[in-house]
Chain A
Amino acid sequence: MGNYFWIFVSAAVINNFTLSYFLGLCPFFGVSKKIDTAFRLGLANIFVMLITSVCAWLLNTFVLPYAPYLRLITFIVVIASAVQFVEMAIKKLSPALFKALGLFLPLITTNCAILALALFQTNRGYSFLEGIFFALGAGLGLTLALVLMAGVREESEMSTVPDVLQGAALSFLIAGILSMAFMGFAGLFSGAA
């Protein structure tokens, strides 16, 4: 059980997908202007990640040992299908959310965080359950980064910012500081390891 917890915490906080591994930057810099939207996008990502993790595990166990060169293609097709599925589900369950997320839903397909999840899970040889905890941790970490960024940007919209810093430059500097803050988590639980 300790191992699962470690995988979860590591992916969510210590090796945060966005702030430590530079994954999922497009939504990070694009959508994160409102905390609400950021949170909901994060949830959609978690869902896609869970589906991806399970499918990747199934592929790795039953199909890919016979054709390892097909790994990348099968993973990306699975991700594209999972996103399509989640898109349809959201459209049916909450049309308002569907409208709010707009173009960012299909863009989850090109979110490198999802593909990276599948690849890391493969490289580290995670079992089925380990993969689930990994996906949950990574998804939560991604959501956390999105929400934090959105929160800071909401604040900064109300303050005066020198015009050369406006827009992208400021976002990157904020991200740098957030990333530094998260470095503080490094070594968490390491005494026990």
Chain B
Amino acid sequence: MSSVKRAGPVRLIVTLGVAGLVSGLILVTAYLATQPIILRNQAKALEAAIYRVVPGSTTRKEFIVRDGKLVPGSNNPAGGQSENVVYGAYDSSGKLLGYAIPGEGPGFQDTISLIYGYDPHDKKIIGLEILESRETPGLGDKITKDPKFHENFDSLSVEPKVVAVKHGTKTAPNEVDSISGATISSKAVVSIIQKENARFLSVLNSAQGSEGTPQ
């Protein structure tokens, strides 16, 4: 620093300009190099989750809800950004096993993001996976790990409506046993599912009839 005299304004602007330019170039390169990998990772993670919540499925297709009907989506490998995206999950022979419905909503601490499998034949939820959550460690975060909580969603009837009940009081097939000590996080999960059910179920159930042989 000692060898630089007080520089004139031109020198200042040129230095900043060059710095900005070089920095911009480096950033663009880094971005272009890493984005494909990042998108690929996200797509893989999403796919893995879909196949987990609709057991037995090996392929999937993206759909959007438009005008109350299911229309094929853009099949963007990283998953659609719009809220009306839902995935059809098929087994190796192409038979529709169910739909994977993503959803998100406020939890106890922060937003919870999840995906769950729905079987329109039996009108049941067949699987749940929490994608993102920042709930209280040791308490609320049990929604991601507790196997007993997840068992609730292996065969959960959606009629008349999915509801959360206090821990240990589950009697009906549409009830979800909350985690003791994590009632609010458990209820948050259920209310996200209720919200997505309201958005999708009627469309999915009617698509069952008209879809015929899935492509």
A interface residues with partner B (beta carbon < 8 Å) = 15, 68-70, 73, 124, 186-187, 190, 193
Contacts and interface: CB of A to CB of B under 8 A. Distances in A.
Contact of B108 (A70, A73, A124, A186): A186
B30 A69 contact: yes
A68 B27 CA distance: 10
Contacts of B31: 68-69
Contacts of A15: 109-110
Contact of A193 (B24, B27, B106): B106
Given A187-B184, A190-B184, A193-B188, A70 B24 contact: yes
Interface in B90-113: 106, 108-111
A112 to B, nearest CB: 18
B23 interface: yes
Given A186-B108, A193-B106, A70 B27 contact: yes
Contacts of B27: 69-70, 73
A88 B195 CA distance: 50
Interface in B77-101: none
B172 interface: no
Nearest to B191: A193
Contact of B23 (A73, A124, A193): A73
A59 to B, nearest CB: 15
A124 B110 CA distance: 10
Contacts of B110: 15
A3 B23 CA distance: 39
Nearest to B105: A193
B30 A190 contact: no
B28 interface: yes
B15 to A, nearest CB: 15
Contacts of B24: 70
A70 B109 CA distance: 30
A87 B184 CA distance: 44
A68 B30 CA distance: 12
B24 to A, nearest CB: 7
A15 B106 CA distance: 14
A93 B106 CA distance: 43
Contacts of B108: 186-187, 190
Given A68-B31, A69-B28, A73-B23, A186 B106 contact: no
Nearest to A20: B109
Which 3 interchain pairs have the tightest Cβ spacing?
A69-B31, A69-B27, A190-B184
A124 B106 CA distance: 11
A193 B189 CA distance: 12
Interface in B1-36: 23-24, 27-28, 30-31
A74 B117 CA distance: 41
A186 B137 CA distance: 13
Contacts of B109: 15, 186
21 contacts: A15-B109, A15-B110, A68-B31, A69-B27, A69-B28, A69-B30, A69-B31, A70-B24, A70-B27, A73-B23, A73-B27, A124-B111, A186-B108, A186-B109, A186-B136, A187-B108, A187-B184, A190-B108, A190-B184, A193-B106, A193-B188
A3 B181 CA distance: 26
